[in-house]
Amino acid sequence: MTSTTNSPARHRALGDHTWQADAVCRSTECNAVDPEVFFPEPDETNKIAAAKALCGQCPVRRTCLDAALEGGDTDGIRGGLTEEERGPLHAKIAHRLDYSRVNDTIAGRDVHLTTAERRAVVLAAFRHGVSEQRLAWLLKITEEHAQKLYRELRRALRNRDLDQPATIPASEAVGERHDRDDFGTAA
Ligand code: SF4
């Protein structure tokens, strides 16, 4: 499990593509960009360098990388990283536990969550007295599902209290920390 609290205040909302309007690779009448440069063969070093130079100036580079990782977009250069450079991040993202995303969700924002982050949302919501109805809305699930999640959490917490220090819910487990650059951090 990887965990972090390092992130900007706001993450990209699900389905939000408005950030692409600020992408340096967006071709306009005044600024023609060859999209092919972002899909180089591994030995096309000039193309790779050209694409990376554009990404290096791009104000939405972090968001672009997040979107690629969250969307499983493994093709081409994204967020300044080649397919090969992004490979390990794609493999790790399922284990991300970013508490700023948990906080954003509790605040009502619809951001991408991993399974670990969804568990952390349930725990945080429970501890803050968030109703089952509200939890259902936050996670876009049914009220019955939210009730079940709270029921399971209550059971896990009770078992932990009865059996210290045997079991800690996965949602509370804190694993290795990683640097901010391990993942994109979405704006
Ligand atoms: S980071 Fe690179 S690929 Fe992503 S939007 Fe910006 S210029 Fe395009």
User: Which two tokens mark 13?
Assistant: 């909302």
Q: What pLDDT sits at residue 178?
A: 40
Is residue 148 classed as helix, strand or coil in its secondary structure?
helix
62 pLDDT above the threshold of 60: yes
Q: CA 157 to CA 101: how far, in whole Å?
A: 23
Contact 179, 94 (CB under 8 A): no
Q: Which atom of ligand 1 is nearest to the CA of 64?
A: 4
Pocket residue to mutate for ligand 1, from 47, 70, 78, 185, most atoms within 8 A of Cβ: 78
Q: CA 183 to CA 69: how far, in whole Å?
A: 8
Pocket residue to mutate for ligand 1, from 58, 65, 185, most atoms within 8 A of Cβ: 58
66 CA distance to ligand 1 centroid (A)? 11
Element (H, E) at 160: helix 143-162
For residues 85-114, average pLDDT: 92
Q: What pLDDT sits at residue 129?
A: 96
Packing angle, helices 143-162 and 115-127, rounded to 10: 80
Whole-Å CA distances, 5 to 77, 97, 102, 113, 172: 26, 8, 10, 14, 14
Average pLDDT along the chain: 85
175 CA distance to ligand 1 centroid (A)? 31
Q: Which residues are near ligand 1 (CB < 6 Å)?
A: 23-25, 38, 54-55, 58, 60-61, 64, 77-80
Is residue 33 classed as helix, strand or coil in its secondary structure?
coil
Max CA distance (Å), the chain = 67
Count CB neighbours of 102 within 10 A: 24
Pocket residue to mutate for ligand 1, from 61, 69, 75, most atoms within 8 A of Cβ: 61
Contact 187, 12 (CB under 8 A): yes
Q: What pLDDT sits at residue 32?
A: 87
Q: CA 140 to CA 156: how far, in whole Å?
A: 23
114 CA distance to ligand 1 centroid (A)? 23
102 pLDDT above the threshold of 70: yes
What percent of the chain has pLDDT above 90?
Answer: 66
For residues 110-114, average pLDDT: 92
